Structure 1
Amino acid sequence: MLEVKNVCCGYDGIDIVKQVSFSINRGENLCIVGPNGCGKSTLLKAISSLIDFHGEVKLDGKNINALKRKDLATKIALMTQSSNIQFPYTIYETVALGRYSHLKSIFSRLTKKDELIINESLKMVGILDIKNKLISELSGGQLQRVFLARAFAQDPEVILLDEPTNHLDLRYQIEILDYLKNWAKEKNKIVVAVLHDLNLVQNFGDRVLMLNDGIIKGHGNTKEVLNNNDLEEVYGIDIKSFMVRTLEKWR
C-alpha cells in the first residue's frame, strides 16, 4: 500500500499542497485530477521525495524518507512533464538508464536480465524496432514513449506519471493506459497518474483524487468522484453536460 498522510508541500516556503491524505492498494491505479495550478505535479514530486514536505509518505509501511536515494529509485519511478533530452543517447541507451539503480555500482555492466527487461519495456510502448535511433531525432510522441519505457525498465513498485499521454495520438493514449492498468493488476504494482482528460480517467481510473487549490475536493472510486457535485465548482464548467452534448454529435 502507498499511504500519504497530511502532506503539505510547495516552493519558497509557500504550501501549494495542503494536508493531503489518501492511500492506494497494490494492484490499483489512482488518477489525480484538477485544474491547472492546483498542486497535482507538486504532490507527485513530494511522493517521490524530489521536494521537501511535511507529513508522511509510506510504501508498505516504510517511510520513504528513511530510504537511500538509490533504494528509493528501485521502489518509485517518476515521469514528469519536464523530462527532456540531456545527451544525444540512443533510445536503447536512454531506456537502459532505468536499470542503473539495480546495478551494484556505476561501473557494473548490464546483465542478460537487465537487457531482457529493457527490450520488453521498449516493446511495451511500441519502439523496439527503432531502439538504435538517437532520441534527438524523435517526435514529441516518440520521446514520450521513450520516457515511459525508461520508467517501466526501472521495474519499480510504484509508477508516478505526470500527464503520460501528452503528445500521444489517441491510439497510443488508450494502449499505454490499458497497459499501465494491466501492469498494476498483473504484477501487484501501483500506478498514480495525473491526467487532464476526464474521458481517459473514466476508462482508466480505479480511484480518483480531485484537487482544487491544493485541497482534496473528492476522493474515492471513479464513478463517485466524477459525479460529485463539486466537479462543476472545481472546473468552473458543467463538464458532464458538455461531455453528453459532445457524445450526441457522434450518433
Structure 2
Amino acid sequence: MLEVNNVSCGYDGLNVVKNVSFKVNRGENICIVGPNGCGKSTLLKSIANLINYKGNILLDSKEIGGLNRKELATKIALMTQSSHIHFPYTVYETVALGRYAHLKGVFATLSENDNNIIVKCIENVALLDLKNKLINELSGGQLQRVFLARAFAQDPEVILLDEPTNHLDLRCQIDILEYLNKWTKENNRIVVAVLHDLNLVQSFGESVLMLNNGEVVAKGIPKHVLEEEKLKNVYGINIKTFMLNVLRKWEQ
C-alpha cells in the first residue's frame, strides 16, 4: 500500500500542497485531477522524494524518506512532463537507463534478462521497430512513449505519471492507459497518474483525488468525485454540460 498522510510541501518556504492524505492499494490506480497550479505535479515530486515534505509518505509501511537513492529507484519511478533529451541516445539505450538501479556493483553490465526486459518494455509501447533510432529524431508522442517504457524497465513498485498521455494521439492514449491498468493488476503494482482529460479519468480511473489550491476537495470513485457541482466549483465552468453539448454534435 502507498499511504500519503497529511503531506505539505512546496518551494521557497511556501506550501503548494497542504495536508494531503490518500491511500492506494497494490493492484490499483489513482488519478489526480484539478486546475493548473493546484499542486498536482508538486505532490508527485514529494512522493518521489525529490522535494522535502512534512507529514508521512509510506510504501508498505516504510517511510520513503528513509530509503537511499538507489533503493528508492527500485521502488518508485517518476515520469514528468518535462523529460529532456540531454544526449542523443537510441530508444534502446534510453529505456536501458531504467535497469541501472537493479545492477549490482559499479562495473556491472546488463544481463540477458535485463536486455529481454528492455526489449519487452519497448514492445509494450509499440516502438520495437524504432529501438535503434536516436531519440532526438522522434516525434513528441514517440518520445513520450520512450520515457514511459523507461519507467516500466525500472520495474518499480509504484509508477508516478505526470500527464502520461501528453502529445499522444487518441488511439495511443487509450492503448497506454489500458496497458497501465493491466500492468497494475498482473504485477500487483500501483499507478498514480496526473490527468487533465476527465473523459480518460472516467474511463480508466479506479479512484480519483481532486485538488484545488493545494488541498483535497474530494476523493473516491470517479462517479462520486466528478460530480457536476464539484467540477463547477473547482474549474469554474459547468464541465458536464459542456461535454454533453459536445456529444450531441457527434449525433447530428
TM-score by length of 1: 0.99
Which whole-Å CA distance do the structure 2 matches of 1:235 and 1:158 have between them? Answer: 29
1:230-241 correspondence to structure 2 within 5 Å: 230-241=230-241
Structure 2 partner of 1:163: 163
Give, in angstroms, the shift of residue 228 of structure 1: 5.7
Structure 2 partner of 1:185: 185
Give, in angstroms, the shift of residue 43 of structure 1: 0.1
Structure 2 partner of 1:60: 60
Amino acid at match of 2:17: V
Give, in angstroms, the shift of residue 53 of structure 1: 0.5
1:132-156 Cα deviation digits (max 9, x unpaired): 0001111101100000000000000
Which whole-Å CA distance do the structure 2 matches of 1:43 and 1:16 have between them? Answer: 9
Give, in angstroms, the shift of residue 250 of structure 1: 1.2
Structure 2 partner of 1:30: 30
Structure 2 partner of 1:46: 46
1:6-58 Cα deviation digits (max 9, x unpaired): 00000000000000000000111000000000000000000000000001000
* 3-state SS of 2:83 partner: coil
Give, in angstroms, the shift of residue 230 of structure 1: 1.8
Amino acid at match of 1:250: W
* 3-state SS of 1:54 partner: strand
Runs of 5+ consecutive residues of structure 2 not aligned to the other structure:
none
* Structure 2 residue 131 is the aligned partner of structure 1 residue 131: yes
Which whole-Å CA distance do the structure 2 matches of 1:58 and 1:239 have between them? Answer: 34
* 3-state SS of 2:233 partner: helix
- Greater mean deviation of Cα atoms: 41-50 or 224-233: 224-233
Structure 1 partner of 2:215: 215
Q: Which runs of 4+ in 1 moved over 3 A?
A: none
Structure 2 partner of 1:84: 84
Structure 1 partner of 2:142: 142
Which whole-Å CA distance do the structure 1 matches of 2:105 and 2:158 have between them? Answer: 23
Give, in angstroms, the shift of residue 186 of structure 1: 1.3
Amino acid at match of 2:81: Q
Structure 1 partner of 2:105: 105
* Structure 2 residue 119 is the aligned partner of structure 1 residue 119: yes
1:210-241 Cα deviation digits (max 9, x unpaired): 00000001100111101163211100000011
**Contact 2:41–2:194 (CA under 8 A) maintained in structure 1:** yes
Structure 2 partner of 1:70: 70
* 3-state SS of 1:101 partner: helix
* 3-state SS of 1:229 partner: helix
* 3-state SS of 1:105 partner: coil
Give, in angstroms, the shift of residue 106 of structure 1: 3.5
**Contact 1:88–1:134 (CA under 8 A) maintained in structure 2:** yes
Amino acid at match of 2:164: P
Which whole-Å CA distance do the structure 1 matches of 2:197 and 2:13 have between them? Answer: 31
**Contact 2:228–2:238 (CA under 8 A) maintained in structure 1:** no
Which whole-Å CA distance do the structure 1 matches of 2:228 and 2:44 have between them? Answer: 23
* 3-state SS of 1:117 partner: helix
**How many pairs are equivalent?**
251
**Contact 1:100–1:106 (CA under 8 A) maintained in structure 2:** no
Which whole-Å CA distance do the structure 1 matches of 2:120 and 2:105 have between them? Answer: 23
**Contact 2:33–2:195 (CA under 8 A) maintained in structure 1:** yes
**Contact 1:218–1:228 (CA under 8 A) maintained in structure 2:** no
Which whole-Å CA distance do the structure 1 matches of 2:37 and 2:196 have between them? Answer: 12
* 3-state SS of 2:20 partner: strand
* Structure 2 residue 98 is the aligned partner of structure 1 residue 95: no
Which whole-Å CA distance do the structure 2 matches of 1:90 and 1:107 have between them? Answer: 22
1:112-167 Cα deviation digits (max 9, x unpaired): 11111100100010001110000111110110000000000000010000000010
